[in-house]
Amino acid sequence: MTTDARLTERFAPVFDRIAAGAVERETDRILPAEAVELLRESGFTRIRVPEEYGGLGASLPQFVRQLIALGKADSNLPQLLRGHVAFVETQSSHPDRESAGRWLRRIGSGAIVGNAQSENGNQSFWQNATTVVADGDEYLLNGKKFYSTGSLFADWIHTSAYFDAEHTANVLVRADAPGVERIDDWDGFGQRLTGSGTTIFENVRVPAEDVEPYPNGQFKGTYLLAVLQLNHLATLAGIGQAAVDDTVAFVKQRRRNLINPSYPTPAADPQIQQVVGRIAGASFAATATTLAAAEAVGEVADAVVVGTATEAQFDAADVAVFAAQTAVIETVLGLVTELFEVGGSSAVTDRFRLDRHWRNARTLGQHNPAIYRQTLVGDHLLNGRSPSEWASDSWNAVRESALADAAANGAT
């Protein structure tokens, strides 16, 4: 049976190796391809795959604890694996067990799945300019995606495409298939090494078994959104832990205490000690909040596997993660800002790269904006509305807009 102790024994040395090169990669913008291979070879990419398919069979909370540790080593890594993490969860709970088994075996053998879902300028997730069209026994995939997180490092790319007026298709395509182009053009000021750039599909041939249509606007009966956001929370918690460690290391190496000469070194200064104590407490709170959310999601994940999950459990998982989102973002952003109070201008020099913690946390905090998630939580608590209903509302708004446009064009 997989335990936290066994997982830590297995992965801690891997995370140490990854952490050793994190600042250099950040400074010189070196994509973490070697680090991804370390994670593949160590089994981290199959940690949630059931043992029968070649995985480690870790529970969701066990996995999140390791994901936080990876985020502490290098926050780019858990984010670039976010699509892979979500895909494993969807297959573990997929009703088509034959198809799911095929994918879980691939991942259990080391395959990595990247993400390429969103497009620039679209009103909704379901308004895809990317299309997948039947061509004999196969399909042809054409389109352009942005926010293709992790696809630069993947063996397979999980994308979405217009299928028909009422359906979007999940499409799995080999990353090296003819007609696939992956471009490292992500220009955000944080999380710069996640491969979150553009992916282009030009007449890519896809076997029919790798095209799965689903009705637009349906997110009921899934914990996918909770898992996706939980991945960000784990990464943020890891950033908080790394920021505390880097702040402590920064203070310990300083010898000049010009502002408060009553104390021989900054480490002996009670004011500096207080700042370090506060950010350590904030980091602890962010980690604890993330792990509490992971327990809620883990309960529904386990229930899905045995077929006993209820709508109330899905709602509880969403509410737990979305509520935690606000707390973790605000807590981590606060601590990565306050840490600079332990030093003067030397704390902002490139040599220490303390700024990377703020940039990375701020970038992650923008994903799936918390202001919308706060509204979903409030609406659920006040009115009993399921957080997943936003998906149907979004699709209905897009459909009504399209019908209105069609009517207007027909009238002119």
pLDDT digits (tens, 9 = 90+) for 341-360: 998 888 898 888 999 999 99
> Structure tokens of 397?
């708004």
Could you tell me if 147 and 189 lie in one domain?
Answer: yes
Could you tell me if 251 and 378 lie in one domain?
Answer: yes
Question: If phi over 0 gives left and psi between -120 and 50 gives alpha, with beta otherwise, what is residue 230?
Answer: alpha
Helices (H), 21-111: 22-28, 33-42, 60-73, 76-80, 82-92, 97-108
Helices (H), 139-223: none
Cα–Cα distance for residue pair 6/318, rounded to 1 Å:
29
Would you give the distance in Å from CA 319 to the centre of its chain?
18
Residue 412 confidence (pLDDT): 46
pLDDT tens digits along 178-229: 999 999 999 999 999 999 999 999 999 999 999 999 988 777 789 999 999 9
Q: Confidence class of residue 276 from pLDDT cuts 50, 70 and 90?
A: very high
Where is 134: in which H helix or E strand? strand 131-135
Boundaries of domain holding 325: 224-393
Could you tell me if 259 and 381 lie in one domain?
Answer: yes
Question: Does 408 reside within a domain?
Answer: no
CATH number at residue 187: 2.40.110.10
pTM: 0.95
Question: Does 22 reside within a domain?
Answer: yes
| Domain total of the chain | 3
Last residue of a domain, one of 85, 111, 137: 111
Listed in sequence order, the residues at least 6 apart from 282 whose beta carbon sits closer than 8 Å to its beta carbon are 240, 331, 332, 334, 335, 338
Write down the residue that tokens 């879902």 correspond to. Answer: 117
Rounded average pLDDT over 220-244: 96
Residue 167 is classified by DSSP as E
Question: Does 405 reside within a domain?
Answer: no
Write down the residue that tokens 């696809």 correspond to. Answer: 151
CATH number at residue 95: 1.10.540.10
